[in-house]
A and B are shown apart, each in its own frame.
Chain A
Amino acid sequence: MISPVLFWSIAALTVIPALSLLFARKAVHIAVSIIGVMIGLAVAYVTLGAPFLGVVQIVVYTGAVMMLFLFVLMLVGVDQRESLKETLTGQRWIAFVGAAGLAILLIAAISEVAFEPAEEGVSGEPDAVAMLLFTDYVVVIEILGALLITAAVGALVMTHTPRLRPRRTQQELQRERVLAGANPVNKPMPGVYARHNALDVPALDPEGKPIDESVSRVLEARHQTTEGFEWRAALTDPSKKKARPASGISKPEPTDKEDER
């Protein structure tokens, strides 16, 4: 028999992190929570007399699958946060009713069957599982091997970007840029001739006008261009200095669109 304490511990260890799937906003948080779920499930397997499967669960899911998820999250942008505001009409209600209905139906179905569990648990030792895997299910194992290889090749093919044109040399690229009207010389550093040498203060040209592109775009993207704001504004258009109070130096609100990403 299984001790209730153990069961309820496992239940808490799995259900509570799983709920993050519904309520957490950051994908990274969810992924880490799911790792917790996987560990809880591994414990459940061991409890149910499947130690081999428990170990495999940890190795495959926490070690491989969830790490893969995290890799992909890094690739597509770890900062992506999702607004929980629903955009499809009625989707939330459909989801709630559908999920609850399914739960009720399944629980009703399960409660109807009354199994007397076997007295002694099964032996889920690796050798016992291996005996079965490589005797009765050997064909399935072979097919699954083929499937894994196919999946690996498929993933390679899908993420591979074929080169359509020959690689262009640095010289060619440079010539192209100049022909397109780019400035042949380096951009001025920010702060050059300016009255303030912070990174977010644009350089001044010989006429004393600010050169916007001297400030890194990264700063703009990160909304970190505020420190020299005062100076910038003064240089660009003196009238704005009065319009902007000095105390208005604050982080601008992120727009809703950025939030949605």
Chain B
Amino acid sequence: MSPMAFVYLAVVLFVIGAAAVLLRRNAIVAFMGVELMLNAANLALVAFSRIHGTIDGQVMAFFVMVVAAAEVVVGLAIIIAVFRARQTISLDEPAELKG
């Protein structure tokens, strides 16, 4: 079976993550959706690495992981700060950006 199959799998995972971001109101769940999207992209990168027979794709995936780790730290810190200020982490609540 061709490694290309993993790319299709990555597409499915990515779309599930995106739908989660759109549909879930809990900020942590939406954030997990984002993480899933990042991982789907990683999977595609690794699959491409396998397809092309070069290791650069894996290195790129590694970088994505590092950046994602940093992003998770900051993102969760923001969620905690928001929770402290408003006692909720619902994404529908802070609608103060309404124009």
Chain A interface (Cβ within 8 Å of chain B)? 1-4, 7, 10-11, 14-15, 18-19, 21-22, 27, 30-31, 34, 37-38, 41, 44-45, 48-50, 52-53, 56-57, 60-61, 64-65, 68-69, 72-73, 75-76, 80, 82, 86-88, 91-92, 94-96, 98-100, 102-103, 106-107, 110, 115, 117-124, 128-129, 132-133, 137, 140, 144, 147-148, 150-152, 154-156, 158-159, 161, 260-261
Give Cα A123–Cα B65 distance, bound, in whole angstroms. 19
* Residues A110 and B58 in contact, CB atoms below 8 Å apart: no
With CB as the reference atom, state the residue of chain B lying closest to A105.
B11
Q: Which A residues lie within 8 Å of B24 (CB)?
A: 21-22, 82
B-to-A contact residues, CB < 8 Å: 1-9, 11-20, 22-26, 28-29, 31-33, 35-36, 39, 42-43, 46-47, 49-56, 58-59, 61-63, 65-74, 76-81, 83-84, 88-90, 92
- Evaluate contact between A122 and B16: CB separation under 8 angstroms: no
Instruction: Tell whether A75 pairs with B36 under 8 Å between CB atoms, given A19-B16, A21-B20.
Output: no
Q: Tell me, in angstroms, the Cα distance from A102 to B14 when the chains sit together.
A: 10
Taking the closest CB of chain B, its distance from the CB of A183, in whole angstroms, is 28
Closest to A64 in B: B69
Contacts of A73 in B (CB 8 A): 28
- Please tell me if the beta carbons of A53 and B58 are within 8 angstroms of each other in the complex: yes
Determine whether the beta carbon of A117 is less than 8 Å from that of B50.
yes
Contact A122 B76 (CB under 8 A): no
Tell me the bound Cα distance from A261 to B25 in angstroms. 10
Q: Which of B16, B46, B52, B79 has the most CB of A within 10 A?
A: B46
Please indicate the chain B residues that have their CB under 8 angstroms from the CB of A128 in the complex: 55
When A41-B39, A117-B4 are in contact, do A99 and B61 touch as well, CB less than 8 Å? no
Q: Least Cβ distance of B62 to chain A in Å?
A: 6
Q: A4–B28 contact, CB under 8 A? A: no
CB neighbours of A45 from chain B (8 A): 43, 46, 61
Nearest-neighbour CB distance to chain A for B74, whole angstroms, equals 5
Q: Do residues A30 and B32 form an inter-chain contact, with CB atoms below 8 A? A: yes
Say whether A154 contacts B74, CB under 8 Å: yes
